[in-house]
């Protein structure tokens, strides 16, 4: 659907989600970088499983995939019952909603699809038009955020990012990594990426994506970040978000909060980059954000899976960075400096 030659933006060749005309093609991110494998899905249950199993990951990408999942559900339900498909599709939407709990974009996209279902007749084809628009709008929003964020970096020589926030996590171009792409095109050269334990989204995904697009970067262990800041090599930490509360508190991949604490101590600035679809206006603060915990096996080696082992694991996959540690939230509608509830409300137009 997209390739490197189709648009004037350089260093942006990766697309993890592709609509084939009959289904959704998904790059299986669990196999990167050793294997580049795509899976095709033709049902909502398949898309939900792709999200749950982390073949699809990154809040914007999860929302886009879910929108296509509704399209596939409508196609199937309409084929089975042309006049009553709207009644039965709710269970497909509920299945998609249950696939990951923290990503606000998932529920935002499903709400948009629900509203569309309510407003159209028995022909489900307008749903594909909407899903394609959600996908394209995400890429356009990312490019806008890339430009806005890069402006804040003027005069900086180095940045650190956490997790993967690029084309693999979005419709394309990326949120935090989109800012880094834009800054790279304007001359920024010192780019550091954290490994991002335990799924290694930085080591496996961000490094792979930057390598595909010929953007040089250095990989560091998560635990090396504070020492990196102490050396003066970076002036900004730039991250994405899966859930932003109305007051600017931001939930992101586990480890983000400690980067924010370390950044504040070392005089390094902290930027969150996310579309307004990531903001949950019904959640007043980060204290109310549901933090997903994944299974202990992701952390524990097989040796500790035996029944007589006394070793357990705690595996939260997100943490919440309070707004008071965030210097800028960059959205497609503009930048909020030193966010609080009042400043955030200006985006809610």
pTM: 0.93
* Nearest partner of 136 among 64, 230, 194, 86, judged by Cα: 64
Burial 253-288 (b: 16+ CB within 10 A, else e): bbbbbbbbebbbebebbbbbbbbbbbbbeebeebee
Tokens matching residue 317: 């996959």
Looking at residue 83, its pLDDT comes to 92
- Residue 133 has a CB neighbour count (10 Å cut-off) of 12
Span 302-328, average pLDDT: 97
Q: Which residue pairs from 88-92 have beta carbons closer than 8 angstroms and sit at least 24 positions apart in sequence? A: 89/117, 92/44, 92/45
Band the pLDDT of 13: cuts 50, 70, 90: confident
Sheet holding 158-161, edge to edge: 218-220, 190-194, 158-161, 236-239, 269-273, 328-331, 334-337
Looking at residue 11, its pLDDT comes to 78
SS3 19: strand
2 pLDDT above the threshold of 60: no
- The fourth-level CATH superfamily of domain 17-138 is translation initiation factor eif-2b, domain 1 (1.20.120.420)
Looking at residue 289, its pLDDT comes to 96
Looking at residue 8, its pLDDT comes to 46
125 pLDDT above the threshold of 60: yes
The structure tokens 């955020």 sit at 145
- Active site members: 242
105 pLDDT above the threshold of 50: yes
- Write the pLDDT tens digit of every residue in 17-62: 999 999 999 999 999 999 999 999 999 999 999 999 999 999 999 9
> What residue ranges of the chain are covered by domains with CATH 1.20.120.420?
17-138
* Nearest partner of 118 among 72, 81, 64, 70, judged by Cα: 70
Q: Which CATH class is domain 146-345?
A: alpha beta
Phi, psi of 121 (to 5 degrees): -85, -150
Give the distance from CA 253 to its chain's centroid: 10
- Write the pLDDT tens digit of every residue in 155-177: 999 999 999 999 999 999 999 99
Please check whether residue 248 is in contact with residue 326, taking contact to mean a CB–CB distance below 8 angstroms. yes
- Write the pLDDT tens digit of every residue in 204-213: 999 999 999 9
When mean pLDDT is compared across 97-106, 145-154, 216-225, 257-266, the lowest value belongs to 97-106
6 pLDDT above the threshold of 70: no
- Write the pLDDT tens digit of every residue in 213-241: 999 999 999 999 999 999 999 999 999 99
Please, what is the end-to-end C-alpha distance for the chain in angstroms? 32
> What residue ranges of the chain are covered by domains with CATH 3.40.50.10470?
146-345
Q: CA-CA distance, 337 to 160, in Å (whole number)?
A: 19
């Amino acid at each position: 659907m997209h390739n490197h030659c189709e648009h004037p933006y350089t260093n942006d060749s990766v697309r993890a989600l592709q609509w084939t005309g009959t289904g959704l093609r998904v790059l299986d991110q669990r196999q990167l970088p050793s294997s580049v494998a795509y899976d095709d899905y033709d049902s909502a249950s398949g898309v939900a499983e792709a999200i749950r199993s982390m073949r699809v990951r990154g809040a914007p990408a999860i929302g886009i995939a879910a929108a296509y999942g509704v399209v596939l559900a409508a196609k199937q339900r309409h084929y089975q019952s042309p006049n009553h498909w709207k009644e039965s599709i709710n269970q497909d939407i509920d299945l998609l909603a249950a696939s990951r709990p923290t990503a606000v974009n998932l529920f935002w996209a499903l709400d948009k699809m629900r509203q569309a279902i309510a407003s159209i007749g028995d022909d489900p084809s307008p749903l594909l038009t909407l899903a394609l628009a959600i996908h394209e709008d995400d890429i356009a929003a990312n490019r806008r955020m890339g430009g806005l964020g890069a402006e804040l970096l003027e005069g900086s020589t180095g940045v650190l990012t956490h997790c993967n926030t690029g084309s693999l996590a979005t419709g394309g171009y990326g949120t935090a990594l989109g800012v880094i792409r834009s800054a790279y095109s304007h001359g920024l050269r010192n780019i550091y990426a954290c490994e991002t334990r335990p799924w290694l989204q930085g080591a496996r995904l961000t490094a792979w994506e930057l390598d595909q697009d010929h953007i040089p970067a250095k990989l560091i262990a998560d635990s090396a970040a504070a020492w990196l800041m102490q050396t003066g090599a970076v002036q900004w930490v730039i991250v994405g978000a899966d859930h932003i509360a109305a007051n600017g508190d931001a939930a992101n991949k586990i480890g983000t909060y400690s980067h924010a604490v370390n950044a504040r101590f070392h005089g390094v600035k902290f930027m969150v980059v996310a579309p307004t679809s990531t903001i949950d206006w019904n959640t007043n603060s980060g204290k109310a954000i549901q933090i997903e915990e994944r299974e202990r096996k992701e952390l524990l080696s097989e040796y500790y899976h035996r029944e007589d082992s006394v070793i357990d694991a705690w595996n939260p996959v997100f943490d919440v960075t309070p707004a008071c540690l965030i210097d800028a939230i960059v959205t497609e509608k503009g930048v909020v400096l030193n966010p609080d509830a009042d400043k955030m409300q200006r985006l809610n137009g």
